[in-house]
A and B are shown apart, each in its own frame.
Chain A
């Protein structure tokens, strides 16, 4: 620690810190444009010039390291003269039409110019005009307003890992742009809007729909992946107009993904359900809440055998809803409750940890020295996790992938094992063999025999060595592997590899609240945990519920044809059922076709609640926007259902009552907001040695980035991005040649008796003999299991 003096005040600072950081900590404001805590220092705007005793020139506070005894003045005549001249320079070419600028009211330039500007400009020349550029559906440019702080450029290089924007030209002809006209495609691109200190980069979706001073700030939590990024959902008259990021250094730093930023558009979609609806004699009529709930409850009561009721819930609803949903179902005697929509292999479920999580904080990931991701397109699935891994990689971490697709990475990948889903088990056997050979501990029972026939390569050896040599490393199970037919066997091997290489076994989980689902007991095989214990139950998992064609279903926040691994199987089960109740924020023909009553529940931002992220952090939030029509927060609807079923203990006054009940059951103090991260490592249980067929063509399904949930699917701008263009069947050129197919050719995709019309896209990132046809899109809704065999037939 060193002591410096700023404006006569003694300030403690850390060695190596820059003046601006020390001043910020001490609450001394220094104006700045180019400096940003989470970006590298460019020291170029010169707005932060201050007087440093004995320095021959004014010094930029953002780039001047503190030194013991340094005497600094940020407000002396000398410092102010420098700051004012910089302000004048910035303004000479800046349009002075703040009233028509979207940034007006939250513009750093506007703000500082009030403090440092002069009311009269001596600039008599013509101002510079810069042509705006079309950089895609998300971000609007008004580059005449640019002050060349290069925050957006540095963001691309340092955080997004894509050099999409740059500064071309010299002097006052310097322009920010993409060089050749193209869209900005990073999944984190929208952050440059938050970063831009002026109105040069604004949100194409939000701009001009409000003036900043009309917006209310609401702390909220992003609900589109398991990270739980902190955000500020800004509202006008109870409607979300814009979502911006909110700093949280242990989760998302200063960033949010584009999905978290732009999904809110889906809230205003035309197919929002605003009133309860009942189907009578094949015709839909609107109903009152009382009638609809009574109808639903009575119909369920009519099902005498409660094991004939199946409940499937989205993994992206609040913990309160999950907890109450399972409580209602268990209350009436049904254990068929699940939230694992895309999982198809449940054989290992009794080995599941308390909740499948990271085993560390989100930010800790950036400090790892090695990691291997199994079945994960992390960058698109959990963009902030991709960011943390990239930061680790930039610090030298060795990060490897075992995947069926060579997904684009924005960092150096140490090793990439790209193989068909059916061969992934074998690949993990190879890695386990290396781990076994390196391990000094004895081989667990059966492992040596299991791996005896596989061949080890140098690359596998290196990959495992990197894990073992690292002080801290992880083996990560992604959502793709979790959906594969042989998941439980692969997970055991992954767990062994983690054990043997002294790494943490981590999960990246589907949806926003898989952790919440586990902790609240939304599972068929075990009850909710009470005082550290849970009882095993024998309910049906998602797959079994639909395979066994039950008499009744409760669908909570689900679009069957898009959310489930096998949409056709599920739709058939619904058709066959006597009674189906959907609790949903949206109404579609498909939902109507598959239900008998639809109850309008709020989306996450319209309700208070709690999400528990993949690191076990409990984050509660208030309702941000007004409920649509007569829709109600889910916990309230479930409370009434509990009462109508005459189940005890449904007297909650608020969502806090619900979450507190769960917390005390988990022996968590009410004020506590983190579930301790028990180890994820499994007890060894030698998997069956399956050698898969290799001749059939196998489908690869991944829930693509903008198809993850009902709200995101309806966000129109996101749906126009490059990443959303997934309504194609991707195959590599070898398979195209074998099948005599061409790029852009229309074909029929066929899985068993199910077909869909799709277009071929040739992409050599797909592994051999596989068809990548992502889940959640329209074409996939008439197909079967995500990793089942598939045929492509020329139309």
Chain B
């Protein structure tokens, strides 16, 4: 079954309105928690049972993350929603904001309840004008209807949320850069430790979760952790939104059970476009290593299987490449992206992403040298594990992945100063 969690309003007219949301049982989870005074520990336990893992890319277990917060300690704490959605290929959070914003608000409120925060911020990608105003309107509606504000449902719990339009940089999606950006500073990741759970927004304990993670919470509370878990596999609970793009007939967002075979997902998307063959898949956003098509056909769509295949589920952006795609050209494009998006503060990433991009540009344009292939591998390796944030890895892993499976195409480019794949490509 599809569209049971984040997209559960999608079948309605104007699914984003409060009315639509209420019609599918919206805000009932929050109401239940507050009126029945369900302890936060119990909710966190449910979330742990659900095996919900962070949908922002790293896949960190959400219940565990919440339990790190010094919930009992006095003072301001924050819940921050990450709707920066910058990972190339990913467009799922945008549709949650556009079609089901209230569910996100309810999820933020429940998260706030669980971690002891009375204030939430939603950091929305700078280019998302329409989703931003949808979400902002939803906040107004919720406030007016009493789902946000003081003493919610007659309880002692106060919660309000605010939207923040992002700075327009990929790096602002990295959680600590995001916090800096909300604070009005240049979006640059902070060195950790200290971690946000101890020193977050304005120096206060903060939990940051992805839009999809938070939007899943009301349904988990309503139907129980076990229900959610059973939609997926152990350690890979729930349904997941996949943003499928590339050479398929029906690209788009699909909310399906975790563990669904890739082949079924490809079928849902109407199969390969124009009858071309599947060459490769980038299964979890541009940062995840590419997997050859044949191998992918045996993989199921969940964290553990994709990891076993040598890549990552990441943000769930599935990029389908057909056999007309030149892998050198594809990597050149990706490397250019990371060069542009490195924040520039740490040496290996600042200098390394530029270097990778320069080498790729050269190979792509027929000026590659034999040593360049090993050099690419070395530079990528020298970045990995030596940077402040994971953008260093994000830039290196694709290089490693492309070289692992398609080294011959790189070699061909260097030897023949043109593409190995047929006419039509460079």
Contact = CB atoms under 8 A, between A and B. Distances in A.
Contacts of A49: 386
A172 interface: yes
A305 B193 CA distance: 77
A60 interface: yes
A450 interface: no
Interface stretch (B235-243, B279-287, B341-349): B341-349
A85 B351 CA distance: 11
Nearest to A170: B344
A423 interface: no
Interface stretch (B24-32, B49-57, B244-252, B353-361): B353-361
A56 B393 CA distance: 14
A125 B355 contact: yes
Contact of A170 (B343, B346, B348): B343
Contacts, number: 98
B382 A63 contact: no
Interface in B378-401: 378, 382, 385-388
B347 A42 contact: no
A228 B312 CA distance: 61
B187 to A, nearest CB: 9
A44 B345 contact: yes
Contact of A167 (B186, B191, B371): B186
B344 A174 contact: yes
A172 B388 contact: no
Nearest to A93: B351
B386 A58 contact: yes
Contacts of B339: 171-172
A148 B193 contact: no
Contacts of A92: 351, 355
A529 interface: no
A636 interface: no
A399 interface: no
Nearest to B345: A44
Contact of B387 (A46, A56, A150): A46
A534 interface: no
Residue from the set A148, A167, A171 with the largest chain B CB neighbour count within 10 Å: A171
Interface in B112-158: none
Contacts of B382: 85, 88-89
A165 B359 CA distance: 32
Given A43-B191, A44-B388, A89 B344 contact: no
Nearest to B381: A85
B287 to A, nearest CB: 16
Interface string B191-231: 10100000000000000000000000000000000000000
Given A47-B347, A57-B385, A150-B345, A125 B358 contact: yes
B386 A148 contact: no
Nearest to B343: A170
Interface residues of B, number: 33
Nearest to B392: A46
A208 interface: no
A85 B355 contact: no
A781 B385 CA distance: 65
A210 interface: no
A547 interface: no
Contacts of A125: 355, 358-359, 362
Nearest to B378: A122
B355 A170 contact: no
Contacts of A45: 346-347
Contacts of A58: 385-386
A65 B193 contact: yes
B355 A42 contact: no
B348 A85 contact: yes
B342 A170 contact: yes
A82 interface: yes
Contact of B375 (A47, A60, A122): A122
Given A46-B386, A85-B382, A123 B355 contact: yes
A170 B347 contact: no
A172 B342 contact: yes
A289 B341 CA distance: 72
A86 interface: yes
Residue from the set B191, B193, B369, B378 with the largest chain A CB neighbour count within 10 Å: B191
B191 A42 contact: yes
**Secondary structure of the A contact surface, majority rule:** loop
A170 B385 contact: no
Nearest to B190: A43
Interface residues of A, number: 38
Contacts of B350: 89, 148, 171-172, 174
Contacts of A174: 343-345, 350
B271 interface: no
Contacts of A172: 339, 342, 344, 350-351, 353-354
A79 to B, nearest CB: 11
A90 to B, nearest CB: 6
Residue from the set B186, B353, B375 with the largest chain A CB neighbour count within 10 Å: B186
A41 interface: yes
A173 interface: yes
Contacts of A57: 385-386
Nearest to A60: B191
Residue from the set A63, A167, A172 with the largest chain B CB neighbour count within 10 Å: A172
Contacts of B385: 56-58
Interface string A52-86: 00001110100101000000000000000010011
A60 to B, nearest CB: 7
Contacts of B193: 65
A122 B356 CA distance: 12
A169 interface: yes
Contacts of B369: 124
Interface in A725-754: none
A148 B348 contact: no
B351 A170 contact: no
Residue from the set B342, B348, B388 with the largest chain A CB neighbour count within 10 Å: B348
A169 B171 CA distance: 12
B347 A171 contact: no
A587 B111 CA distance: 77
Interface in A152-180: 166-167, 169-174
Nearest to B340: A171
A412 B222 CA distance: 50
B173 interface: no
A173 B355 contact: no
A144 to B, nearest CB: 14
Contacts of A89: 347-348, 350-352, 355, 382
Given A49-B386, A89-B382, A169 B344 contact: yes
A89 B355 CA distance: 9
Interface string B96-109: 00000000000000
A631 to B, nearest CB: 51
B354 A171 contact: yes
B351 A43 contact: no
Interface in A124-141: 124-125, 128
Contacts of A65: 193
Nearest to A56: B385
Interface string A684-707: 000000000000000000000000
B169 interface: yes
A86 B191 contact: no
A47 B169 CA distance: 26
Residue from the set B344, B352, B354 with the largest chain A CB neighbour count within 10 Å: B344
7 contacts: A41-B191, A43-B191, A46-B346, A170-B169, A171-B344, A172-B353, A174-B343
Interface of B: 169, 171, 186, 191, 193, 339-348, 350-355, 358-359, 362, 369, 371, 375, 378, 382, 385-388
Interface of A: 41-47, 49, 56-58, 60, 63, 65, 82, 85-86, 88-90, 92-93, 122-125, 128, 147-148, 150, 166-167, 169-174
Given A86-B348, A167-B186, 6 more contacts: A44-B191, A46-B348, A82-B386, A170-B342, A171-B353, A172-B344
- Top-4 shortest CB links A-B: A174-B344, A172-B354, A89-B351, A85-B382
